[in-house]
Amino acid sequence: MDRINPTFEDTDVVIVIGANDVTNPMAREAEGSPIYGMPILNVDKAKNVVVIKRSLSPGFAGLPNPLFAMDHTLMVYGDGKKAVVEMTAALNQA
């Protein structure tokens, strides 16, 4: 994380597959939260975030993830592998 986190601010698009707590900005911002202080991937700092998940269900900590509601985040619901294959095919056709 020490190597990747500083690069997110210069990243155009991040694709997150299935992760919840490990990308939850509450770990940095919400003192008193069960995940406060936990190391996370700072994907919310990227210009655009695509999150692929089966649902909006909370992660292991049982917390909502504010990343999912951010203006620069696009939620894609479904199977991670299938979604990536379909996105790749669509990009190749464009």
Residue 19 has pLDDT above 90, yes or no: no
Residue 47 has pLDDT above 90, yes or no: yes
Residue 94 has pLDDT above 90, yes or no: no
21 is annotated as an active-site residue: yes
Residue 53 has pLDDT above 90, yes or no: yes
Domains of the chain in start order, with CATH, are 5-93 (3.40.50.1220)
Task: Name the catalytic one among 2, 21, 44, 71.
Answer: 21
Q: What is the mean pLDDT of the chain?
A: 95
Query: What is residue 57's predicted lDDT score, i.e. its pLDDT?
Result: 84
Query: What is residue 30's predicted lDDT score, i.e. its pLDDT?
Result: 93
Can you tell me the mean pLDDT for 27-55? 96
With helix as H, strand as E and coil as C, how does the chain read? Answer: CCCCHHHHHHCCEEEEECCCHHHCCHHHHCCCCCCCCCCCCCHHHCCEEEEEECCCCCCCCCCCCHHHHCCCEEEEECCHHHHHHHHHHHHHHC
User: For the whole prediction, is pTM greater than 0.85?
Assistant: yes
